[in-house]
Amino acid sequence: MWLKPDEILLKNAFKLWVTEKDNEYFVLQRRRGYGEGGGGLTGLLVGTLDTVLDSTSKVAPYRILHHTPDSQVYWSIACGVTKEEIFQHWDWLQQNIMRTLSVFDSSEDITSFVQGKIRGLIAEEGKSSLVLEEDPEKFREALLRFEKWFELPSEEKLVTYYSCSYWKGKVPCQGWLYLSTNFLCFYSYLLGSEVKLVISWDEIWRLEKTANVILTESVHVLAHGEDHYFSMLLHLNETFVIMEQLADYSIKRLFDKEAFQREPALSDPLQITKRGLEAHAKSEQFRTFFRLPKEENLLEVHESFLWVPFSHFNTLGKICLSENYLCFASQDGSQCHIIIPMREVVNVEKPDSSSRALTVCVRGKRALRFSEVRDYQRLANTIRSRCGISPSPQHSASTEAIRGECQSLINHFEDNPEDVTLMVGQKDSSKAVSTEALMTVFHPQDVENLDPKMLKEKMKEQSWNIHFSEYGRGTSMFFTRKTRDLIVRGVPEALRGELWMLFSGAVNDMATHPGYYSELVEQSLGTSTLATDEIERDLHRSLPEHPAFQSDTGISALRRVLTAYAYRNPKIGYCQAMNILTSVLLLYAKEEEAFWLLVAVCERMLPDYFNRRIIGALVDQAVFEDLIRENLPQLVEHMTDLSFFSSVSLSWFLTLFISVLPIESAVNVVDCFFYDGIKAILQLGLAVLDYNMEALITCHDDAEAVTILNKFFDSVTNKDSPLPPTVQQAPVGNNDKTSHCNVDISELIREAYEKYGNIRTEEVESSRRRNKLHVIQTLEDTTKQNVIRVVSQEVRFGSPQLDELYNLFKRQHFLSCYWTMKSPALLHHDPSLAYLEQYQLGFQQFSVLFSLLEPWAFCTTKSTLSLWIFRLIDENQDGLVNFKEFCYALDTLYCGSFTNKLKFLFKLHLPPAFDLPEDGVIRKSPERGRGKVDLQAYLKQWQNEILKKEETIKDLPRINQTQFIQFSKTLYNIFHGDPEEECLYRAVAHVTSLLLRMEEVGRRLQEPSSPPESTKPANSAASSVEESPTEDASTSPEGSNTSRNSQDGGPDLTEMEWSFSFEQVLASLLNEPAIVCFFDRPVDVHTKLAQAKVAQLKLKANK
């Protein structure tokens, strides 16, 4: 590898280098301790230095130096891992540089020319190979070490590396931590002791920062049941964040394809960089905070002050710019932020260059003034270009008019701070609405009603109107502490739908997709899928007590919204609990608005909640358990097993407490959820447990605790609700409320915010990432245990052996996904399928894994044999093999009796295994996880498996001439290389001759008048097998077909006239003790599995 020329003052510093070749201008050196004569104390010392020190010398054992005869200064220009690599560089220098150097007069010119040439070579390499890093030269060196030490495939992308200590037991090993796209690697070499660690990200169960007495701060990694600790990291937080991002990236790409497909920025594993991961993480945080669509990416960040009209001062914060939004968030503790869609911006002006300020004018006669913006000129131009505002001269008249309007707004606003009426926004009306909110239809408000509850409702509305007058209304409203205070006190019924749309960000989705919902409804109308069947079943279970869903109006609207969403997102389709949530949304929002609210909840606010494995809900339950341990220690002391709260709280998270609270109280919870996200649900859950602490501590079992919580939820009321009794939901539990006095939902929510409002959203997201690894791996482990339980009933492998086999099988599946952008194997993984079908191998994957595990390591026709085996065990002929089918083949070959092994080999030479297409390509390969699941087909397959009788040797068809010749050659190939090879060959030849003679005698008895010449084909066949026993007549699928087709094409009918039954072949081979002993020889399964585990990754690397 060419290196950026680096000056070296001492040619033989510490005598660590030996000169191999030299000439007038270049020296090729070898590191002591490497190559010939290496080892001993010198090798140990040099190896230790190479690992610990950060210098070019530790990169590779060979280097090339440049010097001139009249100078004592040397320049390192190349290094290499192998002698072949460094010699290639040396030869290139000899052929391309040496002749040119003779034309220069001075040494300075020679050195300058060589340095320039080397830098040019590095630049050319960098164009196609290395990405830009902070220090490309050091990164090149690290990449070389990474490839040399870990021998991973060349496609593996190194992301970054750090110096650290790895704790092996109680002893730290100083070395280097390498973080790549698919692996976490560590290498250390100290005084002859080498430590090498390779862990794939998809095998990690837990990743967290820890601290104890010995280690002040370290990174803890749990994988394969082993704990690994990395400490003494100079940038521990940065390292941990990168590790978290890579682990999350791997989980999404390999286990959670639905989430991964929505992130095209990370779709190519070969293009992942540290900078790219950091940018992706910032964009994700930006979208989550401002509730923006998934398509938005954080493009620019500027520090600035924003003039806040309601506080009459400038607040410090950051301007965040994406493709379609201009956002601002304060950093001075005021908790103020604002979101401005670019579509709302009408002009951008720079009224004052001295204060580096710019003014953004938006629709609704609003103006926002940003000051002290460092690069205000570029920011203004960027906003203009994204909004389509042209500052060109031909538009100067309109520009001047708008500038005057904006300036007058600002001047009026500054001169009259008490007059903020200009800041009132205008509420946009949606044009594509098919129905009204169901609550306005089934419970219209009576304006003349002077009921105390209605009066309080009017007071709430007045408070919000005052808030709108001060903070704005609509998409560009200021979000502040006062906004949250109003939310906690309760949202008026009339404003609930509007505020839900605003706080969730659904208002922006709907504005940027006009007519989208109507199109979905038309396209999904009349479709019949598993999702639509489930929707129809659950329609009348959605708030059945509410009058809106006792009529066709409400039921039809609910059907349209759920069906349209299932059509939009078939990966989720429909999941239970979506009906309950959508019912509440339809009460307060128009039908199209309810659809976009559902999109916001399912795809942004509660990611991975509504799928078959409800991963998101399980992750948040784990987060909830962590918060219980931290905030309710008294409860933890009494109930050490917190899994009870996980099972109880599942419905809380899935339905946002709607399924456990009366509807008039539950909507207040939904208000808080749309403003604060999952944090509001976690806070309320803690408040519920805290409120019932004393009763829960005295519980004797889980059933009693469930009863206490149910009674508590029944006692929760909303004393301010203006809904009549016909609309309010009846208690779902026991009507006996003697143990609980009524609890007002507003008081409960206020208490939750007061006690647990200090929980930060960043902490919740960090806990989510940490627990997601454990939840995913627990689900994967459950899948593995279920698969092993099913397979163990039909094979003779023990559970530990099946566990190892499953790990190998699963890893082989992933190995084909690690370095491919759109791996076909990745499409074969579908968690929604039955356990056995979740991981399957195509032929190429199967062939590689079988070559590692086959019992005959010396077999010379591995590709052909593995293809026949693949075709044989692929019972449904879909081009995929599951774990059960794979274990069946190995169990027969490892543990089967002589008869079963021979029967297996015999069947390999019969259709469908032997009867291949002309090009050997498997035609049928269905797409997985799409469309309607055919349950009838599954039931029929299950019934056939139950009724299927065991195959006997008499059921096997006879083998014809072509098949028998190939069968004989397969035996020769299996025996090739065995210590008893000659004896086995003679046995096969004897059996072949015997069978052919038996067939000849049998044919003569059946046809006494047939001429003796008819036996010539049989005799010729026998001689062809005996003369070339080791010849492989079918090294490929094409070869086998060519041989067979040439036989089939002729008019000779002799092939069809003679054949052998399996009984004849078995009886003949049983008379050969050498063959019987060969197949009865036990296989050391444990050793085979251990060797395969070590060789699996290296085999991929060597390809």
pLDDT, tens digit, 9 for 90 and up, residues 699-714: 888 888 889 999 999 9
- Which residue's structure tokens are 């869609």? 341
**Cβ-count burial of 606 within 10 angstroms (0-12 exposed, 13-18 middle, 19+ buried)?**
buried
Q: How confident is the model at residue 1008 (pLDDT cuts 50, 70, 90)?
A: low
Give the pair of three-digit tokens for residue 539. 């329609």
Question: What percent of the chain clears pLDDT 90, i.e. is strictly above it?
Answer: 26
- Chain mean pLDDT for the chain: 79
Q: Are 1076 and 902 in contact (CB under 8 A)?
A: no
Q: Which residues contact 656 (CB under 8 A, 6 or more apart)?
A: 581, 666, 669, 670, 673, 681
Nearest partner of 879 among 834, 837, 924, 839, judged by Cα? 924
Question: What are the two backbone dihedrals, phi and then psi, of residue 495, each rounded to the nearest 5 degrees?
Answer: -105, -5
Separation between Cα atoms, residue 321 and residue 311, nearest integer Å = 24
Q: What is the mean pLDDT of residues 922-930?
A: 41
Q: How confident is the model at residue 1054 (pLDDT cuts 50, 70, 90)?
A: very low
| Amino acid 1051: pLDDT | 41
Separation between Cα atoms, residue 908 and residue 927, nearest integer Å = 27
What type of residue sits at position 144? L
Separation between Cα atoms, residue 733 and residue 203, nearest integer Å = 44
Q: How confident is the model at residue 691 (pLDDT cuts 50, 70, 90)?
A: very high
- For 861-900, write each residue's pLDDT tens digit: 667 888 888 999 888 788 888 899 999 999 999 998 999 9
Question: What percent of the chain clears pLDDT 70, i.e. is strictly above it?
Answer: 76
Q: Are 160 and 179 in contact (CB under 8 A)?
A: yes
Q: What is the mean pLDDT of residues 207-222?
A: 81
| Amino acid 668: pLDDT | 94
Q: How confident is the model at residue 498 (pLDDT cuts 50, 70, 90)?
A: very high
Q: How confident is the model at residue 499 (pLDDT cuts 50, 70, 90)?
A: very high
Give the pair of three-digit tokens for residue 36. 């010939």
Nearest partner of 157 among 231, 250, 90, judged by Cα? 250
Separation between Cα atoms, residue 1046 and residue 268, nearest integer Å = 47
Q: Hey, which residues does 858 pair with through a beta bridge?
A: none
**Cβ-count burial of 715 within 10 angstroms (0-12 exposed, 13-18 middle, 19+ buried)?**
middle
Q: How confident is the model at residue 684 (pLDDT cuts 50, 70, 90)?
A: very high
Distances (CA, A) of 745 to 456, 684, 725: 16, 10, 17
| Amino acid 1046: pLDDT | 38
Among 101-105, 809-813, 925-929, 1044-1048, the range with the most confident prediction by mean pLDDT is 809-813
| Amino acid 198: pLDDT | 92
| Least confident segment among 113-117, 401-405, 583-587, 811-815 | 401-405
Which tops the pLDDT comparison, 33 or 241? 241
pLDDT for 817 beyond 90:
no
Which tops the pLDDT comparison, 131 or 639? 639
Which tops the pLDDT comparison, 270 or 504? 504
pLDDT for 1034 beyond 70:
no
| Amino acid 813: pLDDT | 83
| Amino acid 15: pLDDT | 65
State pTM to two decimals. 0.76
| Least confident segment among 743-752, 825-834, 1047-1056 | 1047-1056
Q: How confident is the model at residue 192 (pLDDT cuts 50, 70, 90)?
A: confident
User: By three-state DSSP, how is residue 178 classified?
Assistant: strand
Q: How confident is the model at residue 741 (pLDDT cuts 50, 70, 90)?
A: confident
| Amino acid 562: pLDDT | 94
Q: What is the 3-state secondary structure (H, E, C) of 147-176?
A: HHHHCCCCCCCEEEEEEEEEEECCEEEEEE
| Amino acid 5: pLDDT | 87
- For 371-381, write each residue's pLDDT tens digit: 888 888 888 88
Separation between Cα atoms, residue 753 and residue 534, nearest integer Å = 38
| Amino acid 502: pLDDT | 94
Q: What is the mean pLDDT of residues 163-171?
A: 80
Q: How confident is the model at residue 977 (pLDDT cuts 50, 70, 90)?
A: confident
pLDDT for 933 beyond 80:
no
| Least confident segment among 185-199, 233-247, 1055-1069 | 1055-1069
| Amino acid 47: pLDDT | 60
| Amino acid 517: pLDDT | 93
Q: How confident is the model at residue 931 (pLDDT cuts 50, 70, 90)?
A: very low
Among 130-144, 919-933, 975-989, the range with the most confident prediction by mean pLDDT is 975-989
